[in-house]
Amino acid sequence: LDTATRIQRYVVSELASDLRFDLLRNRYLATAVVVISAALLAFASGADGKGALALWPLFGAVNQTLGALALVVVTMFLRNKGGWSWIIPGFPAVFMSVMTLWASIMNQFSFTSQSLLLQVINVSVVLIVLWIVIESIFKFFNVKQNAQQLEKV
């Protein structure tokens, strides 16, 4: 529990830093946001603490998003090293990103008859996947240019 909270706090702090939302860069406030959001999810369906089970239908899409992100990171690392070895993880990264995005969009249609919580979190997953795809495309085509600029420094 401690490790999961700490990792989530790091993620919140990093996102706050990227979005220039300095208030959440404070570790105590970021931890409070993390713990409160976890408590809200746990007790979303009542005092029995089984609210997080409502999120189970999202597990597959979120898990595939993490897999796609890992493949994108490996692809970008290999692309930055040069050569053509980036193709090996590159094709699966593209495939997983596209399929995860597609599945998440299809899930959104099935979640309309279910809870609002699933809809909101699924839209967040779709936006995160889109963010990863767009950033990856920009980075992919600028990696060589950025590497050359770093060599000049």
Q: To the nearest 10°, report the CA torsion of 24, 128, 40, 17.
A: 0
- What are the structure tokens assigned to 40, written together? 């809200």
Look at the pTM and tell me if it is higher than 0.75: no
Regarding whether 84 and 36 lie in a shared domain, the answer is no
The type of residue at 66 is L
Q: Is 127 found in the same domain as 74?
A: yes
Same domain, 69 and 121: yes
- What contacts 83, CB < 8 A, 6 or more positions away? none
Are residues 21 and 90 located together in one domain of the fold?
no
* In a shared domain, residues 77 and 112: yes
Alpha carbons 27 and 17: distance in angstroms, whole number? 12
Q: What dihedral angle (degrees, nearest 10) is formed by the CA atoms of 136, 141, 146, 151?
A: 120
> What's the structural domain count of the chain?
2
Residue 47 domain-assigned?
no
Confidence check: pLDDT of 92 > 90: yes
Q: Based on the fold, state whether residues 16 and 84 are members of the same structural domain.
A: no
Share of the chain above pLDDT 70, in %: 86
88 and 57 housed in the same domain:
yes
Instruction: Provide the residue range defining the domain that includes 11.
Output: 1-42
What pLDDT does residue 55 have?
75
Residues 61 and 114 in one domain: yes
Domain match, 93 and 147 both: yes
Tell whether 58 and 13 lie within a shared domain. no
Examine the domain organization and report whether 1 and 71 are in the same domain: no
Pair (130, 84) in one structural domain? yes
- Predicted pLDDT of residue 150: 56
Contacts (Cβ under 8 Å, ≥6 apart) of 139: 76
Mean per-residue pLDDT of the chain: 83
* Dihedral pair phi/psi, residue 19, rounded to 5°: -90, 5
